[in-house]
Amino acid sequence: CEFWMKEISFLGHVISSEGIAVDPVKVDAVLQWSTPESVAEIRSFLELAGYYRRFVEGFSKLAMPLTQLTRKNQAFVWDKNCEESFHELKKRLTTAPVLTLPDAKEPFVVYCDASKMGLGG
């Protein structure tokens, strides 16, 4: 047991009084990820990235070109859209914001959106 810690790493997150952030060790793994060359590699990347989807606004829409390559009977063609999606996801995951809880004493508004490509907040 450890007490009076300022922050703790837990299940791939760093939890502190400021909020919840992506664990820097996981961020390093994302940075080192090379361009996927198969459906299995895309799935692995999307599984890691998807775990942190709450840190990436518009994750579903951004990941769509990669997600489409994982569908059955879909030819594996890595195009410009896939490349842009892959690099943008890496960028956003490595610069993810610290998520904080709203101050219950202050008023706040919750916004949510949806489209044919995904749900978001």
Residue 2 lies in a domain: no
Residue 100 lies in a domain: yes
For the entire predicted model, the pTM comes to: 0.80
Residue 88 lies in a domain: yes
Number of independent structural domains in the chain: 1
Residue 1 lies in a domain: no
Residue 70 and residue 66: Cα distance in Å, rounded? 7
pLDDT at residue 118, as a whole number:
62
Adjacency order of strands within the sheet including 13-16: 7-10, 13-16, 19-22
Domain of residue 95, residue span:
7-120
pLDDT in tens, the chain (121 residues): 777 888 999 999 999 988 999 998 888 888 899 999 999 999 999 999 999 999 998 899 999 999 999 999 989 999 999 999 999 999 999 898 898 888 889 998 887 776 666 655 4
pLDDT at residue 112, as a whole number:
75
- CATH number of the domain that residue 69 is part of: 3.30.70.270
